[in-house]
Structure 1
Amino acid sequence: MAFEEALAGVAAQVEQYRAELKTEEATKTAVVMPFISRVLGYDVFNPSEVIPEYIADVGMKKGEKVDFAIMRDGEIQILIEAKAIGAPLTLENANQLVRYFHVSSARVAVLTNGQHWHFFTDLDKPNRMDDKPFLRLDLMDIDPYTLPELKKLTKVAFDLDSVLLAAEELKYVSSLKRALREQFESPSDDFVRLLTSRVYGGPFTAKVRDLFSRLTATALQQFVNDQVNGRLKSALRGSAPIVPAAPEVAQANTAEELDDVATSDSDIETTLDELEGFHIIRAIVASEVPYDRVVSRDTKSYFGVLIDDNNRKPVCRLHFNRKQKYVGLFDEEKVERREAIERVEDLYHHAEALRATVGRYL
């Protein structure tokens, strides 16, 4: 059975039987042993390969056991401690695994509850198990990037040296991915402040924070969608995705531009509605032109949106400094036509016209 097929099969067992797996023993029998056997390829009934209930007395601690020890060439290489499905995978719940790792020849320790598998080594201090795993596997949400390294721990492709060489990078990359996922789901104030500082030069007030918290979440979601759509389009064309370099004319100076504009004339005030409108327009035309080529220029009478900061390439004008809001759209002769809008979000109703305008400059 292929490695990927075996992994999918064990994952299916977790989903099928998880309601009945209420104890550690049930989890070991239904999930952990099949994982060791089918996925890693070791014979769980051969004590020269897999030792169940492995005992290695440590100091005053006598008779404690680690659930499984995997042997290769007469030496213990991997220790596995199993918990019941749903149990938290904390080192406080696996003290014997930490102690046995210190005194055995194992270089890899595994803590699992059947669904989640955490793989540890000794990157921080030799012969002392790290506090954080270098590889995490969730059978209900398998990360394909982890599979090549996991495969190196199988019986047929065992390559411990390669695993250990890659462990540090795996450890930090996986941690960074989790941190990014958290930011995508709920951007923190620090993250919002960092991104806001790149596009807005005014004070970071509570109102600005609330606005940019929403805009940041929207921008992150649209960025991911754009990347996915780009890859799908490339796949449909039968070509590999190409990531173009940002054009030199598209320096990300929005915050500095807004700051210069706001301070160059005391009569000019860039409002939050204008900023929100600017980012909506950027998002709309991102399908036609790289995001950073769309810039803003505030004036006394209107808030302008331009391509490449070029007055000859106007995208639209926002007339928001009055009770009735208008968006100024441009025809093929660059003649402005004002359309009334009630809310800033109504800019989305003019998406086709905005994209058409940008398309003419390209």
Structure 2
Amino acid sequence: MEIQPQLKALAEKIELLKDQIQTEEATKTAFTLPFINNLGYDIFNPTEVVPEFTADIGLKKGEKVDYAIFQNGTPIIIIECKHWKEDLNVHNSQLFRYFHVTKARFALLTNGIEYRFYTDLEESNKMDEKPFLEFDITQLKDATVTEIIKFHKSNFDVDKIFSNASSLKYMKEIKKMFNQELNEPGDDFVRLFASKVYNGRLTEKVMLQFKELVQKAINQQISEKVSDRLQSALHKEEENQSQEEIVVEEESKIVTTEEELEGFRIVVAILRRKIQKDRISQRDTQSYFGVLLDDNNRKPICRLHFNGTNKYIGLFDQDKKETRHLLESIDDIYNFEKELLETVEFYAEVN
């Protein structure tokens, strides 16, 4: 099922058009309806996708939710849409009321860019306060796409999604808490480690000391783990490349792939904030795809290593030493915006 390219195309469209989208209705038409369509539902079939679905609440009549997706005559997902600039945090109470009076097991709150999926894990027929799946469509990871695919018309299974929702929700909360502890360890977190390595009394002064130690130790350990994984991957990549070079030794032709060109376009999109497009040039080789400033070998901006099983972007420091970074997808190049812009700024300062 090729849903990932469709979502990627929609994300690119959003980045291109969002500044021109001035109303909530325009957001629905340009962003939300294409997303529903990507899930395999016919947005032009009123028995499958129902706009302005009635969700009367008690004596209050005429309440409508923006869309309801139906399966076999029963609503399975209700969708409330807001303008793309709006903060979704102030709108979930409205969806909460609608969820209570419909038969749908899942609710989606979106502004066309952020998507939040809800269900009733904690209390039957009462929408949870926190979503079990949450993402920004312009920054999708492969793991998130895997979860989105489960909502596709061809895959939709209420029981399977619901049983998986619990794990998704609590894993998301655990990761959020863990990140908070990494950035600012709490007393309980610090005490957990300090009590196992320190035999004295954990006074306020000792706890303050261990707070810094715990934070440094854990972040260092994570960095070392990541480094080990990268080094192992690079070693395997070099072995693979060596084997490939032996096999294709007689074939010296350079083939520039669509993935390399797509990566180059992303780099150009980032760098155009600082420099003119015509100053950014490409130079493909057998082992990497290079991006240069002013078509000058002495001004390398980055290298795209897309020829092996894994993909890497090579970034340069002021000594022009290259460091490779693993990419889960080509879109991850956007994560290195700061480093790319700093490289260009450095060349400008030198000149």
| TM-score, normalising length: structure 1 | 0.59
Given that 1:101 and 1:128 are in contact with CA atoms closer than 8 Å, whether structure 2 keeps it comes out as yes
Aligned-partner Cα distance in 2 for 1:237–1:133 = 40
* Matches for 1:277-356 after TM superposition, within 5 Å: none
**Counterpart of 2:55?**
56
Q: Note the C-alpha offset of 1:154.
A: 0.6
Q: Note the C-alpha offset of 1:163.
A: 0.4
**Counterpart of 1:135?**
133
Q: Note the C-alpha offset of 1:22.
A: 4.7
Aligned-partner Cα distance in 2 for 1:181–1:141 = 19
Other structure's SS at 1:203 match: coil
**Counterpart of 2:256?**
none
Q: Note the C-alpha offset of 1:15.
A: 3.1
Q: Note the C-alpha offset of 1:108.
A: 0.6
Q: Note the C-alpha offset of 1:143.
A: 4.2
Other structure's SS at 1:155 match: coil
Given that 2:56 and 2:101 are in contact with CA atoms closer than 8 Å, whether structure 1 keeps it comes out as no
Q: Note the C-alpha offset of 1:47.
A: 1.0
**Counterpart of 1:197?**
195
Instruction: From the superposition, tell whether residues 20 and 187 of structure 1 become closer, same or farther in structure 2 (CA, over 3 Å).
Output: farther
Q: Note the C-alpha offset of 1:110.
A: 0.7
Count of paired positions: 237
**Counterpart of 1:227?**
225
Match of 2:213 among 197, 212, 215: 215
Matched residue type, 1:55: T
* Matches for 1:243-282 after TM superposition, within 5 Å: none
Other structure's SS at 2:181 match: helix
Matched residue type, 1:233: Q
Match of 2:108 among 107, 110, 119: 110
Given that 1:65 and 1:96 are in contact with CA atoms closer than 8 Å, whether structure 2 keeps it comes out as no
Q: Note the C-alpha offset of 1:66.
A: 0.7
Other structure's SS at 2:143 match: helix
Other structure's SS at 1:45 match: coil
Q: Note the C-alpha offset of 1:106.
A: 0.7
Other structure's SS at 1:66 match: strand
Matched residue type, 1:59: G
**Counterpart of 1:13?**
13
Match of 1:158 among 156, 159, 168: 156
Aligned-partner Cα distance in 2 for 1:7–1:31 = 11
Aligned-partner Cα distance in 1 for 2:14–2:217 = 36
CA shift digits 1:183-206 (9 cap, x unpaired): 222323332233222322333344
Instruction: From the superposition, tell whether residues 19 and 172 of structure 1 become closer, same or farther in structure 2 (CA, over 3 Å).
Output: same
**1:84 aligns to 2:107 (yes or no):** no
CA RMSD for the aligned pairs? Answer: 2.4
| TM-score, normalising length: structure 2 | 0.61
Other structure's SS at 2:88 match: coil
Aligned-partner Cα distance in 2 for 1:183–1:9 = 36
Instruction: From the superposition, tell whether residues 95 and 211 of structure 1 become closer, same or farther in structure 2 (CA, over 3 Å).
Output: closer
Aligned-partner Cα distance in 2 for 1:86–1:184 = 30
CA shift digits 1:217-256 (9 cap, x unpaired): 32222222222222223334549xxxxxxxxxxxxxxxxx
Instruction: From the superposition, tell whether residues 212 and 27 of structure 1 become closer, same or farther in structure 2 (CA, over 3 Å).
Output: farther
Other structure's SS at 2:30 match: helix
Instruction: From the superposition, tell whether residues 15 and 211 of structure 1 become closer, same or farther in structure 2 (CA, over 3 Å).
Output: farther
